Structure 1
């Protein structure tokens, strides 16, 4: 995969993680909030790894 593609993919994952975090903040269901936060955390870590940044 090209560097530009990897950067774009990492940016998309960070954006998705941000949306999931925002959704978690809006939900009143604690279990749903936890699931969304965990999914956002994993996406953020994955995007950091793609960028070559330490987790």
Structure 2
């Protein structure tokens, strides 16, 4: 996969996390709100990992 593809995937995950966060804010059911917030957090974390992998040039850092 190309670096552009990896960053595009990370962006898609961030966008979805934002949508989930907004849905959580609008939810009146506390359980649903919590589930949506947790999903959003997981996607955001995953997108950060993806972004980090995309920036890795394969050389060890010192």
TM tier, shorter chain? over 0.9
> In the comparison of the two structures, how many residue pairs are matched?
53
- The root-mean-square deviation of aligned C-alpha atoms, in Å, is 1.1
- Give the alignment of 1:8-47 within 5 angstroms: 8-47=8-47
Which ranges in structure 2 are unaligned for 5 or more consecutive residues? 54-62
Give the structure-2-normalised TM-score.
Answer: 0.83
Q: CA deviation at 1:41?
A: 0.2
Normalised TM-score (structure 1): 0.93
| Equivalence for 2:7 | 7
Displacement over 4 Å in runs of 4+: none
